[in-house]
Structure 1
Amino acid sequence: MTLKPLGDRVLVKPAPKEEKTSSGLYISSGAQEKPQKGEVVAVGAGKLDDKGERIAVDVKAGDQVFYGKFGGNEVKVDGEDYLLLRADDIYAIIED
């Protein structure tokens, strides 16, 4: 199955949860925080402004991004977990 986000929505594959601390201690699954970064998989066409012109989304497929901790909706496609966010919920693009 393929998902194509509509409007200004973005489909993101969250990064795996951290299972160890930097000192090497294992974190229990109940204490692991939701990741706040991931890879953009698909992007909608953008939302319409007052004049009916489309405003493009600032990210593209393949971008690594930071997003809000509580934003978006979790979706499962073909057994994989994704997050469907509004473009406004994405705070930054990670550049190496």
Structure 2
Amino acid sequence: MKLKPLNDRVLVKRLEMEEKTAGGIYIPDSAKEKPMKGEIVAAGPGKLDDAGKRVKMTVKKGDLVLFAKYAGSEITIDGEEHLVMREDDILAIVD
């Protein structure tokens, strides 16, 4: 299934977290937190300003981003979990 986000929304796929700590301790699934880092899978065209002109998005497909812990709405596409969120929910682009 293909999805194209509208306006200033983006489709993000969460990146998997490490299963063990730097000290070598394995983290059980019950103790893992959902990662707050992901990859932009699709981005909308941007929102409209007060004058009716489209404001271009800062992020684009393929960007790695950090986002707020409870940002977006979870959806499942072809058996994989994704988030749909507004561009404002993105905290930073990872270089």
Q: TM-score, normalised by structure 2?
A: 0.95
SS at match of 1:39: strand
**Offset at 1:17?**
2.9
**Offset at 1:85?**
1.0
The number of aligned residues is 95
In structure 1, list runs of 5 or more residues that go unmatched.
none
Does residue 79 (structure 1) correspond to residue 83 (structure 2)? The answer is no
Match in the other structure for 1:36: 36
Identity %: 56
**Offset at 1:56?**
1.2
SS at match of 2:17: coil
Match in the other structure for 2:20: 20
**Offset at 1:26?**
1.2
Q: TM-score, normalised by structure 1?
A: 0.94
Match in the other structure for 1:91: 91
Q: What RMSD, in angstroms, separates the aligned Cα atoms of the two structures?
A: 0.8
Does residue 59 (structure 1) correspond to residue 59 (structure 2)? The answer is yes
Shift >2 Å, 4+ stretches: none
